[in-house]
A and B are shown apart, each in its own frame.
Chain A
Amino acid sequence: MDKYTIKRNREPLTPEDVRKGKDFGSFMNAYAVRKKPFYTKNWFLSSLSVAALAAGIITMNIKNAEQPVFPLQSAFISPPLNGIDIADTVFTVKPGQGGNFFSDNGSFITVPANAFLDSAGKTVDGNVELHYRELPDPASAFLAGIPMTYDSAGARYHFRWNGMMEIYAFCNGKPLKADPQHPVLVSLPAEKEQMQYGTYYLDTIQKAWTYKGRNDWNFAALVSDTSGAAGLPVKQDAGNDQLLPPRKANRSRHSFAIKFDPQEFPELAIYKGVRFEVDETKTPYRGSDAKVKWEDAVVTKNRNADTYTITFTRGVLEKSYVAYPVVGETDYAAAKKLYEEKYSEYLQGTRNGAVPHFALSPGARAVFTSDSCFAQALALHNAHSGTNEHAMYMRAFTVSDFGIWMAGVPQNLPQGATTSLSLKDGRTKKELVTNRVYLVEKGTNALFTYDAAGLADFTYDPAQENSIWAVTADGKPAVFYPGDFKTLGTSEKKTGITMRVPAQKISNAAQAMTVLGS
Chain B
Amino acid sequence: MSLTAKGNAMQIESKYHVSREQIAAEEAEIEAARTDPQKFAPLYDRYYERILGFVYQRVESRDDACDVTAQVFIAALENIGKYKAQGVPFSAWLFRIAVNELSRMYRRAKVRQAISIDDTQVEDILHELGEENTSVTDARLMKALQQLGPEEVMLIEMRFFEKRPFKEVCDILAISETAAKARVYRLLERLKTIYTSLA
| Residues of A bordering B, CB below 8 Å | 2-13, 17-18, 20-22, 24, 27-28, 30-31, 34, 63-70, 74-79, 82-83, 85-88, 119-121, 131, 133, 166, 168, 170, 173-175, 204-205, 402-403
Closest A residue, CB atoms, query B186: A204
Q: Could you say which residues of chain B place their CB within 8 Å of the CB of A205?
A: 186, 189-190, 193
Contact of A170 among B7, B129, B181 (CB under 8 A): B181
A166 and B182: CB pair below 8 A? yes
Q: Could you say which residues of chain B place their CB within 8 Å of the CB of A21?
A: 48, 52, 66, 69-70
Does B32 reach chain A (CB closer than 8 Å)?
no
Q: Of the 9-residue stretches B13-21, B23-31, B36-44, which lies at the interface with chain A?
A: B36-44
Contact of A85 among B76, B149, B178 (CB under 8 A): B178
A18 and B175: CB pair below 8 A? no
Instruction: Give the shortest distance, in Å, between B152 (CB) and chain A (any CB).
Output: 9
> Do A119 and B56 form a contact, CB below 8 Å, given A4-B113, A22-B49, A65-B75?
no
* Chain B 143-169 interface residues, beta-carbon cutoff 8 Å to A: 145-147, 149, 151, 153-154, 159, 165-166
Given contacts A12-B9, A166-B178, A168-B185, 6 further A-B contacts (CB under 8 A): A5-B115, A22-B49, A28-B38, A65-B93, A67-B100, A120-B127
Instruction: Give the shortest distance, in Å, between A144 (CB) and chain B (any CB).
Output: 8
Closest B residue, CB atoms, query A82: B174
Q: Could you say which residues of chain B place their CB within 8 Å of the CB of A79?
A: 175-176, 179
A69 and B103: CB pair below 8 A? yes
Main secondary structure of the interface of B (DSSP, over half): helix
A and B contact pairs by CB, cutoff 8 A, 22 listed: A4-B146, A6-B115, A7-B116, A10-B116, A12-B3, A12-B10, A13-B56, A21-B52, A28-B37, A34-B74, A63-B78, A64-B75, A64-B103, A65-B93, A67-B100, A69-B172, A70-B151, A74-B149, A77-B186, A79-B176, A131-B181, A204-B186
Instruction: Give the shortest distance, in Å, between A89 (CB) and chain B (any CB).
Output: 10
Closest A residue, CB atoms, query B82: A66
Contact of B173 among A3, A6, A20, A69 (CB under 8 A): A69
Contact of B175 among A31, A85, A168 (CB under 8 A): A85
Instruction: Give the shortest distance, in Å, between B37 (CB) and chain A (any CB).
Output: 7
CA distance A175 to B179 in the complex (A): 13
A70 and B100: CB pair below 8 A? no
> Do A27 and B73 form a contact, CB below 8 Å, given A88-B178, A170-B181?
yes
Does B110 reach chain A (CB closer than 8 Å)?
no
Q: Could you say which residues of chain A place their CB within 8 Å of the CB of B113?
A: 3-5
Instruction: Give the shortest distance, in Å, between A494 (CB) and chain B (any CB).
Output: 34
CA distance A43 to B122 in the complex (A): 56
Instruction: Give the shortest distance, in Å, between A79 (CB) and chain B (any CB).
Output: 6
B69 and A5: CB pair below 8 A? no
